[in-house]
Amino acid sequence: MEKGSKMEGVGVKVLVTGDRGYIGSVLIPLLLEKNYKVTGFDTDFFKKEILPISNSYTKITKDIRTISEADLKGIDAIIHLSALSNDPMGQINPSLTSEINFESSVKLAKLAKKNGVRRFLFSSSCSIYGIAKEDTVSEQSPVNPLTAYAKSKVDTERELIKLADSSFCVGILRNSTVYGFSPKFRNDLVVNNLVTTALAFAEIRILSDGTPWRPLIDIRDLSKIFIEFLSVDSEKINGKIINIGFDENNLQVRDIISIVKKYIPNCKVVYTGEHGKDARSYKVNFKRFKSIFPFIKQEWTLDKSIEDMTEKLRKMKFGQKDFESGEFSRINVLNKFLLAHDVTEDLYWK
């Protein structure tokens, strides 16, 4: 790729893997608005839509492990989102998480490079910092992946970076945990979980004492950032790992709770203090992101996003039945498929 080349809107062909996921279904309409020519690639595990997703782009329904050169024909850039996403998903089978998240990502990137794709953006996660030893972690800090999911992201980052060169721009977005409403809504993410628990049960039980730190970002802000990563000069991001988020959104669980209570005031909060299964705690430094994209400001604060989410969920009368249906929790959906033998043990559709 020419030094400093960039990919702005009209006519640029972007393949988005995981386009029918929580983030993908918000990102796609924004890409279309900017006149990118979009192809989605997704095995379509999560069919539940609480709002219809866009139909005005090409969709390939296939497993990422079987992607071929033909699927990449004419593609200029890839935003790679497909994954067994989030920490609990690794519980299904850690080696499967590695196969789908790590091995197939590296295979995809190599195939992309060979076939003339010029830019590859990878959706990594700040959860790889685990319980951080330092007060605030930066891209130079040691990582401490506590789950198969986090490990798959570390392994992928390491191998993708090696592929970056002047013809193949690799940008690694180490994303904060996402919150906010989406047509493919999930309630297995911390903020969304607290909001839906409060709506469904009017009681939230917190396994920690509420002090663990999390970097958080709204789904619309993150989607816009992905698009900025497409159009920025390649030299600014190529071969770099970049923490994605905003300083003011390093928050403690108790901060989230206080906003949830603002919009769902009848909700009772119980701190059990067990620290539960999820012991991650980390504050993240976003200096690198800010220095490359000084013009990007947060639009969807946690407060604004929780207000919006609560309003939309109330409108659709989200309640106990919806919560208990498990339709908004990825691990539940996949476990149902496994139990019903809709998929093989290694998660291929039968």
Q: Name the residues that contact ligand NAD, by CB under 6 A.
A: 18, 20-24, 42-46, 63-65, 81-85, 100, 123, 125, 175, 177-178, 184, 186, 189, 330
CA 184 to CA 29: how far, in whole Å?
13
Kindly tell me which of 60 and 200 has the beta carbon lying closer to ligand NAD.
Answer: 60
DSSP H or E run through 271: strand 268-271
- Smallest distance, ligand NAD to C-beta of residue 141, A: 17
Kindly tell me which of 59 and 118 has the beta carbon lying closer to ligand NAD.
Answer: 59
Name the CA radius of gyration of the chain, rounded.
Answer: 19
Count CA within 13 A, CB hemisphere, residue 177. Answer: 29
- Smallest distance, ligand NAD to C-beta of residue 43, A: 4
Kindly tell me which of 203 and 228 has the beta carbon lying closer to ligand NAD.
Answer: 228
User: What are the residues facing 136 on neighbouring strands?
Assistant: 283
Nearest to 78 by CA among 126, 44, 110: 110
Nearest to 112 by CA among 84, 155, 78, 83: 78
Sequence-ordered strand ranges (E) for 29-113: 37-42, 58-61, 77-80
- Opening angle at CA 139, ends 137 and 143, nearest 5: 70
Sequence-ordered strand ranges (E) for 12-91: 13-17, 37-42, 58-61, 77-80
- Smallest distance, ligand NAD to C-beta of residue 122, A: 8
- Smallest distance, ligand NAD to C-beta of residue 127, A: 7
How does DSSP classify residue 19?
A: T
Cα–Cα distances (Å) from 340 to 112, 334, 335, 337, in that order, read 35, 10, 9, 5
CA 272 to CA 267: how far, in whole Å?
16
Contact 249, 298 (CB under 8 A): yes
Distance of CA 156 to the CA centre of its chain: 15
Kindly tell me which of 107 and 262 has the beta carbon lying closer to ligand NAD.
Answer: 107
- Smallest distance, ligand NAD to C-beta of residue 300, A: 14
- Smallest distance, ligand NAD to C-beta of residue 173, A: 8
SS3 sequence of 132-198: EEEEEECCCCCCCCCCHHHHHHHHHHHHHHHHCECCEEEEEEEECEEECCCCCCCCCCHHHHHHHHH
- Closest residue by beta carbon to ligand NAD: 21
Kindly tell me which of 124 and 208 has the beta carbon lying closer to ligand NAD.
Answer: 124
CA 137 to CA 128: how far, in whole Å?
11
Kindly tell me which of 178 and 198 has the beta carbon lying closer to ligand NAD.
Answer: 178
Kindly tell me which of 88 and 239 has the beta carbon lying closer to ligand NAD.
Answer: 88
Kindly tell me which of 191 and 313 has the beta carbon lying closer to ligand NAD.
Answer: 191
Kindly tell me which of 18 and 145 has the beta carbon lying closer to ligand NAD.
Answer: 18
- Smallest distance, ligand NAD to C-beta of residue 264, A: 21
- Smallest distance, ligand NAD to C-beta of residue 19, A: 7
- Smallest distance, ligand NAD to C-beta of residue 102, A: 11
